[in-house]
C-alpha cells in the first residue's frame, strides 16, 4: 500500500522520512505527482491547512496521505507569524526575507519567547482525516546562526540548548523538534492502522 507525504518542501520531507518509521509502507511524496495542482493553504489554523493538504492529496491520488502544517508562534507578536509563517514577508518571499522581517518586528521587544508548532493530518483515500500535534518551546536570538535545517532555524534556540536549530546536528533537531513530537504522537496513535494498510 502507498502512503503519500503531502508536501513539496524537500527539507520537511527529509525530516519526516528520517524521524518516522513507515515499516512496510511504500512512501511517496507530492514530488512524485507533478501533475497534481498545489494545495491552496487558505485556512486560518495549522489544523485546517494540514487536513486540507492531506485530504486533497489523498483524493487526487486514491492513496492514504499524511500532511504537515507547521508554524512559528512568537509571544511578543501575539502568536505571529503562526499559520502564516511561510509567507510572513509576502507571497514568493524567501526564508531570508522572513527571518529579516522577524528580527525587525522583534526589535526592542522584551520577550523573545517562541514555540514551533506542527499539526500532522492523516487522510484515507475517501478524505476522512484525523490529526495530532507537537510543539517545541524556545527563544528567538538577535542574529542568524548556523547552516543546517531550513526556515526560521537559524534564529531559534530550543529551551535547554544554547545552539540554534541550524547549528545543532540534524539528529538532535529530529529528536526534540515540534515535528518529532507530532510524529511520535502519530506513531502512538496510527502505527497499527498504518501497518494494516
Active site residues: 69
Question: To the nearest whole angstrom, how small is the minimum distance from the Cβ of residue 95 to ligand ITT?
Answer: 6
Question: Is 184 in a helix, a strand, or coil?
Answer: helix
Query: Where do the DSSP E strands lie in the chain?
Result: 2-5, 26-29, 64-74, 113-123, 129-140, 156-158
Q: Which of 8, 43, 112, 145 binds ligand ITT (CB under 6 A)?
A: 8
Q: What DSSP string describes 167-179?
A: TS-HHHHHHHSHH
Task: Say whether residue 164 binds ligand ITT (CB under 6 A).
Answer: no
Span 23-62, contacts to ligand ITT by CB under 6 A: 41
Least distance in Å: CB of 83 to ligand ITT? 8
CA dist., res. 179 & res. 191, Å (int): 17
Segment contacting ligand ITT by CB under 6 A, of 20-28, 64-72, 120-128, 185-193 = 64-72
Min separation Cβ 6 and ligand ITT, Å: 7
Output 10 or 195, the one with its CB closest to ligand ITT: 10
Q: Which residues contact 167 (CB under 8 A, 6 or more apart)?
A: 145, 146, 148
Q: Which residue in this structure is represented by grid cell 495542482?
A: 37
Q: Is 131 in the site for ligand ITT (CB under 6 A)?
A: no
| C-beta of 9 vs 123, nearer to ligand ITT | 9
Helix, strand, coil share of the chain (percent; to 5) = 40, 25, 35
SS3 83: helix
By beta-carbon proximity to ligand ITT, the closer residue of 63 and 86 is 86
Does residue number 179 form part of the binding site for ligand ITT (CB under 6 A)?
Answer: yes
Binding site for ligand ITT (CB under 6 A): 7-9, 12, 41, 68-71, 85-86, 95, 98, 116, 149-153, 165, 177, 179
Amino acid at each position: 500500500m502507498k502512503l503519500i507525504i503531502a508536501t513539496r518542501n524537500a527539507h520537511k520531507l527529509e525530516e519526516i522520512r528520517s524521524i518516522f518509521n513507515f515499516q512496510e509502507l511504500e512512501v511517496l511524496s507530492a514530488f512524485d505527482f507533478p501533475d497534481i495542482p498545489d494545495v491552496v493553504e487558505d485556512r486560518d489554523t495549522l489544523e485546517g491547512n494540514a487536513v486540507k493538504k492531506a485530504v486533497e492529496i489523498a483524493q487526487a491520488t486514491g492513496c492514504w496521505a499524511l500532511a504537515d502544517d507547521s508554524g512559528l508562534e512568537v509571544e511578543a507578536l501575539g502568536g505571529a507569524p503562526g499559520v502564516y509563517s511561510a509567507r510572513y514577508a509576502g507571497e514568493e518571499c524567501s526564508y531570508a526575507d522572513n527571518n529579516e522581517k522577524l528580527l525587525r518586528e522583534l526589535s526592542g521587544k522584551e520577550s523573545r519567547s517562541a514555540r514551533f508548532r506542527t499539526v500532522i493530518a492523516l487522510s484515507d483515500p475517501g478524505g476522512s482525516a484525523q490529526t495530532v500535534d507537537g510543539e517545541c518551546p524556545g527563544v528567538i536570538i538577535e542574529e542568524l546562526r548556523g547552516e543546517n535545517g531550513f526556515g526560521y532555524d537559524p534564529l531559534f534556540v530550543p529551551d535547554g540548548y544554547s545552539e540554534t536549530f541550524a547549528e545543532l546536528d540534524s539528529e538532535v533537531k529530529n529528536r526534540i523538534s515540534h515535528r518529532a513530537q507530532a510524529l511520535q504522537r502519530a506513531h502512538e496513535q496510527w502505527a497499527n492502522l498504518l501497518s494494516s494498510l
